[in-house]
A and B are shown apart, each in its own frame.
Chain A
């Protein structure tokens, strides 16, 4: 589904080149459930950016679902994201004036679907993330964990091929983090959407099927979970 080939990202800072990613090669299969781990500044966000078509690599190529992102225009990339990629952020980024239901509905409206035709689908998802009672509440009335559940539903509502989550649990306490990760794993199995999230939280390890460790822009390790649950 996703091929990252010889990807480097160089930022120019104050007249000097700073290499944020060094010649990364990764292949990610459909329905993956994996994380990028690494200390601050290791390049996790930069890599997610490139995968999501938000930024382009200095060299190398990202191929998503057969599309060569390098060759696509800004608007084409927007359409690709709109149709195929869900996003989850550390700080939720829900729209404050809209209810839980409306926040989740929004990506479908962007894809030009009619509310009347997708109402049931949205409500089913609201129920799945356990927020039926909160469907008409505004984000300000929700806890952090609830907000992130709304964000998960919002990312999944359009049946994306891929969900990108940048530090989705960084703002949550341990209990809520586990809850969110659990929920994402369940949804990953039910929907077949691939999840890639970045984190520097070691505890995440036991939820994922694959863990790519980054350091200073290099892939330090790439562990895949064995049938016995161990990452190697």
Chain B
């Protein structure tokens, strides 16, 4: 019987091809759009994580509370012990990276040592020098350093390319950093400009410089201290899980605070943050998910609408067939079930085709990406200027489920008339063909 039904469906294009195309197009659009949005969004999360917050951040509360002032005196000591503790009590999937956020005046002297130009900079210190350092890859230094080289010796500095332009820097220039030491004194140190870096975020390209973590600890007298521990999770961990991972680390934290490493200051009190707690990302995610939901709903609604109409037309087209089947003793329920089966089959085929098309587009976006050029960089959002899609199982499900539901729902709404159709007039109805 099922084979008989499917055979009829395949032969009658009006009951297979059109609804198939509707579902395929609807699902392709949904999968494509959601994949694109997911990609942009995950790109934003990733970018923010790499440059700023990590996925999980372990930071001293006094530092975090005044982080806009970059109070380096609130950095957390005991680097090795802290790392050991994090490795033991943190999630095994996390890669921990120590960083120092610092602020200083950058002074560019001329040959005689007189100030040529001077500007406040925001700096970041990461483990740069070791070619094996995961930070090199994480910050994509190979691609981001658009002129010059990645520092290979100590006391070398990478300068945001727009900042370098304003200061008219050339590679090899000396840059003097003047800031506060850990205990409030004046710190100055000379660095050599080794390269210009392009983060792809306007705010950073204009203000940011990058030095090695060890150099920063020397320059600012921060032996064995870091301001941040950034934890990075693999892409396979969804952002929905960050909160859980954070809470698990928090559970062990109380014991650590009660029995802290001896070189911690008495008021040191590290806290664990998820990226979603920072930079308003939690709110943005809620909005993003809302918009995504609305998009899925709109597409589903449109599909239901079109398929319902297709079903109605089909119902007229097959009025005789339905009447005949009722007369021959098929029950109303069986007839509806057989129509639902047809709709299910069409929906499945359409959803598969839609996934294939939408998925291919997203795959292309994911692997190749679309260069939005400066438009993105200038937006000030932490979004990479190469927009990428993101292919995910959930993305497909969000396309397939509404596609199939729309197909079955549309056809069932349309065939409700069958349920009310009475047998009493079948003879007369069938008379006229």
Residues A93 and B329 in contact, CB atoms below 8 Å apart? no
Annotate A156-167 by CB proximity to B: 1 below 8 A, 0 otherwise: 000000000011
Does B424 touch A at the CB level, under 8 Å?
yes
Does B183 touch A at the CB level, under 8 Å?
no
Does A78 touch B at the CB level, under 8 Å?
yes
Annotate B1-43 by CB proximity to A: 1 below 8 A, 0 otherwise: 1011001100110000000000000000000000000000000
Interface positions, chain B 403-433, Cβ under 8 Å from A, are: 423-428, 430-433
Q: Which of B320, B328, B329, B332 has the most CB of A within 10 A?
A: B329
Which listed residue, A45, A81, A91, A105, touches B329 by the CB 8 Å rule? Answer: A81
Do A55 and B331 form a contact, CB below 8 Å, given A91-B433, A98-B8? no
Do A87 and B327 form a contact, CB below 8 Å, given A49-B424, A55-B424, A93-B320? yes
Residues B431 and A81 in contact, CB atoms below 8 Å apart? no
Do A97 and B8 form a contact, CB below 8 Å, given A78-B330, A87-B328? yes
Chain B residues whose C-beta falls within 8 Å of the C-beta of A26 in the assembled complex = none
Annotate B368-387 by CB proximity to A: 1 below 8 A, 0 otherwise: 00000000000000000000
Interface positions, chain B 312-337, Cβ under 8 Å from A, are: 320-321, 323-333
Main secondary structure, interface of B, reads helix
Which listed residue, A52, A55, A85, A91, touches B431 by the CB 8 Å rule? Answer: A91
B-contacting 9-mer, from A27-35, A106-114, A173-181, A202-210: A106-114
Chain B residues whose C-beta falls within 8 Å of the C-beta of A107 in the assembled complex = 328
Chain A residues whose C-beta falls within 8 Å of the C-beta of B329 in the assembled complex = 78-83, 85, 110
CA distance A90 to B433 in the complex (A): 8
Do A89 and B330 form a contact, CB below 8 Å, given A49-B424, A95-B8? no
Interface positions, chain B 207-247, Cβ under 8 Å from A, are: none
Chain A residues whose C-beta falls within 8 Å of the C-beta of B323 in the assembled complex = 93
Residues B427 and A54 in contact, CB atoms below 8 Å apart? yes
CA distance A90 to B333 in the complex (A): 27
Residues A49 and B427 in contact, CB atoms below 8 Å apart? yes
Q: How large is the interface on B (under 10, 10 to 19, 20 to 34, 35 or more residues)?
A: 20 to 34
Does A61 touch B at the CB level, under 8 Å?
no
Chain B residues whose C-beta falls within 8 Å of the C-beta of A77 in the assembled complex = 423
Chain A residues whose C-beta falls within 8 Å of the C-beta of B425 in the assembled complex = 55
Residues B427 and A89 in contact, CB atoms below 8 Å apart? yes
Residues A166 and B431 in contact, CB atoms below 8 Å apart? yes
CA distance A98 to B321 in the complex (A): 11
> Distance (Å) between the CB of B228 and the closest chain A CB?
69
> Distance (Å) between the CB of A128 and the closest chain B CB?
20
Residues B424 and A54 in contact, CB atoms below 8 Å apart? yes
CA distance A91 to B428 in the complex (A): 11
A11 nearest CB neighbor, chain B only: B424
CA distance A56 to B331 in the complex (A): 17
Chain A residues whose C-beta falls within 8 Å of the C-beta of B11 in the assembled complex = 97-98
Chain B residues whose C-beta falls within 8 Å of the C-beta of A106 in the assembled complex = 4, 328
CA distance A85 to B8 in the complex (A): 24
Does A48 touch B at the CB level, under 8 Å?
yes
Residues A81 and B327 in contact, CB atoms below 8 Å apart? yes
Does A74 touch B at the CB level, under 8 Å?
yes
> Distance (Å) between the CB of B43 and the closest chain A CB?
50
> Distance (Å) between the CB of A93 and the closest chain B CB?
5
B333 nearest CB neighbor, chain A only: A75
CA distance A53 to B328 in the complex (A): 11
Which listed residue, B8, B326, B430, touches A91 by the CB 8 Å rule? Answer: B430
Do A89 and B430 form a contact, CB below 8 Å, given A75-B331, A75-B333, A110-B328? yes
Residues A81 and B430 in contact, CB atoms below 8 Å apart? no
B11 nearest CB neighbor, chain A only: A97
CA distance A90 to B432 in the complex (A): 8
CA distance A106 to B424 in the complex (A): 22
Chain B residues whose C-beta falls within 8 Å of the C-beta of A85 in the assembled complex = 329
Which listed residue, A49, A53, A91, A109, touches B4 by the CB 8 Å rule? Answer: A109
Do A93 and B424 form a contact, CB below 8 Å, given A82-B328, A109-B4? no
Which listed residue, A83, A91, A97, A109, touches B1 by the CB 8 Å rule? Answer: A109
Chain B residues whose C-beta falls within 8 Å of the C-beta of A87 in the assembled complex = 324, 327-328
CA distance A53 to B329 in the complex (A): 10
Kindly list the 4 A-B residue pairs having the minimum CB-CB distance in the complex, ordered from nearest: A82-B329, A81-B329, A91-B433, A55-B424
Beyond A83-B329, A89-B430, 12 additional pairs, beta carbon < 8 A: A48-B427, A49-B427, A53-B423, A54-B423, A54-B427, A74-B331, A74-B423, A77-B423, A78-B330, A90-B431, A93-B320, A97-B11
